[in-house]
Amino acid sequence: MKKLINSVDSVVTDALRGLASAHPGLRVDRESRVVSRASGPRAGKVGLVSGGGSGHEPLHAGFVGHGMLDAACPGEIFTSPVPDQMITAATAVNGGAGVLYIVKNYTGDVLNFELAAELCADEGIEVASVLVDDDVAVRDSLHTAGRRGTGATVFVEKIAGAAAEGGAALPEVARVAEEVNARSRSFGVALSACTTPASGRPTFELGETEIELGIGIHGEPGRSRATMRGARELVTAVMDAIHEDMPLSGDVLVMVNGMGATPLIELYVVFAEVAEYLSGKGARVARSLVGDYVTSLDMRGFSVTVCLLSEELTRLWDAPVETPALRWGR
């Protein structure tokens, strides 16, 4: 195993130390493992908190800042953060208007965020939760009951973040987040497995010409194993799965996401095929992202996330944002 780490046990702590050094606009509490805005809570603003296992960077800490999250809770690699982190985060960002937890649909995340919300209520902090479950590949997986939460998490954090930044009340911010999730679908493909520092070996085995269709961001199995093929055929399989579940039309927001070790040139090849597919269905790519946003350590592969836009969602997507991983308009 060749990884740029000091030790297996210190990977997350050392990464948080680097994050703090690189981004003075963030407050990084390494003891509590909470990343928040250095400016602190804004009175009357809904606080947005998300989190999950590390290894998916820039999700979630890379999306803390103006127009997106107020705080993120990183767990150990591929391991849910604990309720204490979530409570600390909610307390740190509470400006008196309540807190929205944005939760990817993985069993550990769901249970821990639910417990944290109950404990926050006992402390007088109003908390609402929105579950992200956009992955159409499988209905249940090793770590979920129901669909997994993947790429749409970025869309929810950005669009709900803009609503909160604009002064929307907690019920309205939660409504917007739920609408984004309802209008979004994702599907991923792995060309290789990732290697966790703790195991030192690939999380699963693929033959030299094999790929996994519908992979999860922790290396969970997808729909099927298949033989490697050209980008156009792969994109057709991905987009057919999305279109079958959510017919594609009108203006759409599209993210072609790298899984951690996919060259950007290949992601643009994929995006070209996605755009052509959408055009053939009468849909128009109105907004887009191409790059690494929800990764799986050093996995080779990609995912596609599509959101059916409305005028309101487009306006909120376009609103200014300034985070380590996403920024425009400021």
Which residues are catalytic, by number? 56, 218
- According to DSSP, the residues that pair with 312 across neighbouring strands are none
- 256 and 271 Cβ atoms separated by less than 8 Å: yes
Q: How far apart are CA 289 and CA 274, in angstroms?
A: 12
Neighbours of 298 (CB within 10 A): 17
- 97 and 46 Cβ atoms separated by less than 8 Å: yes
Q: Alpha helix (H) ranges present in 123-169?
A: 152-165
DSSP notation for 271-311: HHHHHHHHHHTTEEEEEEEEE-SS--TTB-EEEEEEEE--H
Q: How far apart are CA 49 and CA 68, in angstroms?
A: 9
Query: What are the Cα distances from residue 74, in Å, to 83, 166, 230, 247, 305?
Result: 12, 26, 36, 35, 23
